Amino acid sequence: MKTMRDVERAPRHSMAERLASLRDVAPIMVIFAVVIVGLYGGWANLTEAASIGAAACGLYAVLRGGLGWQGLYKSLVGTAEATAMIYLVVVGADLLNSGLALGQLPIALAEWVLNSGLAPLMVLLIILLIYLLLGCVMDSLSMILLTIPIFYPIILQLDLFGLDATDKSIWFGIVALMAVEIGLITPPMGMNLFIVQRFSRGTTLATVSWGILPFIGADIVRIGIVVFVPYLSLIWL
């Protein structure tokens, strides 16, 4: 089993070698630029931009000779399986949301939080910690679909930095998404940790967890900045 000291460092390369290596990823960088510029330039919405990116990557794979009929078949089967899984999650979340709406649980929970005397930032901190814990056992889409109907009414009732309902909704959406993604790499059970370990043969989960700590620290600082300076997430509005 490898430890942190046993993991070999990649050899250093000259600047000329680094620049030359960009030729291999140049088409991907062009596709990325087209998607991002189209998205932020208002030429395409999220779905259209994703479709353009997927089609461009598929065409690039065909031109490179890396996507044959067998590869195309596996891609279609994988897409069907992933789509079926996502729809099952969506249907389950919709049933849960309907039950919550009939039982008035989000409203009752929001009133209970308001009457509990907890500071608004403390409530937000508890919500973020819940996301970190859920990241150990759930994927990001499931977390968002199952928790937003409960947490969103609570956030709307809190006085956070003087934000109105619209700004608060956008700000909380960004903060929640950041917390969800951090939860997926939180040791010891973050789902993405197991994915990294799988592709790092001979490396233990403990080694991966220690290696991810600096990135988690940077993410905590980043989410803290967005929480305490909410207008950074609203600067484009």
The pLDDT tens digits of the residues spanning 120-133 come to: 888 888 888 888 87
Structure tokens at 19: 């620049």
DSSP 117-156: T--HHHHHHHHHHHHHHHTTTS-HHHHHHHHHHHHHHHHH
Q: What is the pLDDT of residue 6?
A: 54
Does residue 5 carry a pLDDT above 70? no
CA 153, 155, 158 angle in degrees (round to 5)? 115
What's residue 210's pLDDT?
A: 83
Mean pLDDT of 211-226: 86
**What is the average per-residue pLDDT within 96-111?**
70
Write down the H helix ranges in the chain. 15-40, 46-64, 69-103, 105-115, 120-134, 140-157, 165-183, 191-199, 205-228
- pLDDT grade, residue 44 (50/70/90)? confident
Residue type at 3?
T
13-39: pLDDT as tens digits = 777 777 777 777 888 888 888 888 888
Q: What is the pLDDT of residue 7?
A: 54
- How many angstroms separate the CA atoms of 143 and 198, rounded? 23
Per-residue pLDDT tens over the stretch 165-185: 888 888 888 888 888 888 878
pLDDT of 2 higher than 60: no
Q: How confident is the model at residue 232 (pLDDT cuts 50, 70, 90)?
A: confident
Mean pLDDT of 94-118: 71
Lowest mean pLDDT among 62-76, 94-108, 128-142: 94-108
d(CA 44, CA 172): 24
More confident residue, 138 or 157: 157
